[in-house]
């Protein structure tokens, strides 16, 4: 069975839904296809602990969160950045607030009400026909012939669709059970599209040699709060930040680790391992720590001494015993140095399906400024399937929304240029 439609959007995450909104509100017939039973599944999961939509920091600092792809993402943000995203959310009837960290959340902290309001708007725009949703339609590539003839596996069997314009918003490769499987990579590669390998981002890591059984059993799952991490790449780039993370059964994960994950991951790829220096007491000077650990402890154990003099105990004390030998712990100078810069060696990122997001994807170098594939005119890409990454903090969602809007506007212009749309 084959059918002809004006626009096919493949992928029902934030990028795909935003592209669909731009097009349907311009009066274009939009058909959205997704392999899952419902749209926005990863979006809903992201909001499980409080939906972090974006961040309130200044434009320069915000753009800097996109690292090597700052230039490309900054162009998208100029049209639809944090302020425009908040305005869009408010237009859906959802209020927002800025948290103490500068992150922006819906007032009720939930993703579901926002998604429901958005889908209502997509199904019933102010004018014209709404988006037609086709769930459980897994895109399997292109049929023989032009790039606008798409093949799907559906509950009713194989389906071919010819679309005048196509927007691909297929996600990365994290949380495959929610639809982001990365299965699209060979499909685009077969058409000659350059795709950087998909890699875990905002992910945990395994420590070298693994934790000892004693440490793992006692401290697995324990949070490390009020610590600082410093990572120095082989090229001399230094990442240093205060925060918190969690000890896992195999290594480390959590917000501070995620913030440094691109540096840690890339160093492992280059050299087989990476190291970060952990400051267990970042609010205390090295001189003060040396003075306290040098204070005579009499008959007290080292643990009791450090707890008394520095309030150092629990998992922080456990890490010192785990990663430093007896000689180092008995030498005040070496002990003080370890407290301020404890080396933690990592040998592997956790599997990509466990990661919050993924890096890699379709190279911007093979896309037009409107995110159209140069080799496949009329086919646009958006969202996490593009070659970019960002830390948690609302940056990922903002980038997805912005790229979806860009692709939608460019697809609209493409239709108009080819006489397939008249305002």
Tell me the CA distances in angstroms from 97 to 80, 105, 233, one per residue in order: 19, 6, 36
Q: Which residues of the chain form CATH 3.50.50.60?
A: 2-201+354-417
- Whether residue 169 contacts residue 383, with contact meaning beta carbons closer than 8 Å, is answered with yes
Residue 333 burial (C-beta neighbours within 10 Å; 0-12, 13-18, 19+): exposed
pLDDT of residue 202: 96
In a structure prediction context, what are the per-residue pLDDT tens digits for the chain, which is 423 residues long? 456 889 999 999 999 999 999 999 999 999 999 999 999 999 998 878 899 999 999 999 999 999 999 999 999 999 999 999 999 999 999 999 999 999 999 999 999 999 999 999 999 998 888 999 999 999 999 987 777 899 999 999 999 999 999 999 999 999 888 888 999 999 999 999 999 999 999 999 999 999 999 999 999 999 999 999 999 988 788 999 999 999 999 999 999 999 999 999 999 999 999 999 999 999 999 999 999 999 998 889 999 999 999 999 999 999 999 999 999 999 999 999 999 999 999 999 999 999 999 999 999 999 999 999 999 999 999 999 999 999 998 999 999 999 999 999 999 999 999 888 887
pLDDT of residue 1: 44
- Confirm or reject CATH 3.40.50.2000 for domain 2-201+354-417, answering yes or no: no
Residue 372 burial (C-beta neighbours within 10 Å; 0-12, 13-18, 19+): buried
User: Cα(first)–Cα(last) distance of the chain, in Å?
Assistant: 31
Residue-wise burial string across 233-248, b where 16 or more C-beta atoms lie within 10 A, e elsewhere: eeeeeeeeeebebbbb
pLDDT of residue 363: 98
pLDDT of residue 205: 98
CA angle 66, 15, 388 (to 5 degrees): 25
Nearest to 73, CA basis, from 338, 391, 351? 391
User: How far apart (Å, rounded) are the C-alpha atoms in residues 49 and 246?
Assistant: 17
Total residues belonging to the chain: 423
pTM of the model: 0.93
């Amino acid at each position: 069975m084959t059918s002809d439609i004006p626009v096919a959007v493949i992928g029902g995450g934030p990028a795909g839904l935003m592209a669909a909104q731009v097009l349907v509100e311009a009066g274009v017939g939009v058909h959205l296809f997704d392999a899952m039973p419902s749209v926005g599944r990863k979006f809903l999961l992201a909001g499980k602990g409080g939906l972090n939509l974006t961040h309130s920091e200044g434009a320069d600092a915000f753009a800097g969160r996109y690292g090597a792809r700052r230039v490309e993402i900054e162009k998208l943000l100029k049209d639809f950045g944090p302020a425009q995203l908040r305005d869009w959310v408010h237009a859906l009837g959802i209020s927002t607030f800025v948290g103490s960290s500068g992150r922006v959340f819906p007032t009720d902290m939930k993703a579901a009400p926002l998604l429901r309001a958005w889908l209502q708007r997509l199904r019933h725009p102010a004018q014209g026909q709404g988006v037609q949703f086709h769930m459980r339609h897994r895109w399997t590539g292109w049929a023989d012939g032009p790039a606008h003839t798409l093949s799907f596996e559906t509950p009713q069997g194989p389906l071919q669709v010819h679309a005048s314009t196509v927007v691909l918003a297929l996600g990365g490769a994290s949380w495959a059970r929610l639809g982001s499987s990365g299965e699209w990579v060979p499909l685009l590669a077969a058409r000659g599209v350059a795709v950087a390998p998909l890699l875990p981002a905002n992910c945990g890591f395994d420590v070298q040699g693994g934790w000892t059984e004693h440490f793992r059993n006692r401290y697995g799952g324990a949070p490390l709060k009020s610590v600082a991490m410093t990572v120095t790449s082989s090229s001399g780039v230094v990442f240093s930040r205060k925060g918190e993370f969690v000890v896992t059964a195999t290594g480390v994960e959590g917000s501070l680790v995620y913030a440094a994950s691109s540096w840690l991951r890339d160093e492992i790829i280059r050299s087989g391992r990476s190291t970060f220096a952990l400051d267990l007491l970042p609010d205390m000077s090295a001189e003060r720590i040396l003075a306290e650990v040098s204070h005579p402890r009499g008959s007290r154990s080292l643990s009791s001494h450090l707890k008394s003099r520095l309030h150092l105990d629990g998992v922080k004390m456990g890490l010192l015993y785990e990663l430093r030998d007896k000689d180092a712990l008995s030498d005040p100078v070496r002990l003080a140095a370890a407290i301020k810069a404890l080396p933690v060696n990592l040998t592997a990122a956790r599997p990509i399906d466990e990661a919050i997001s993924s890096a890699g994807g379709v190279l911007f170098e093979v896309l037009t400024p409107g995110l159209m594939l140069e080799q496949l005119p009329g086919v646009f890409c958006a969202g996490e399937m593009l070659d970019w990454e960002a830390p948690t903090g609302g940056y990922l969602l903002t980038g997805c929304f912005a790229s979806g809007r860009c692709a939608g506007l460019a697809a609209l212009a493409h239709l108009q240029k080819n006489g397939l749309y008249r305002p």
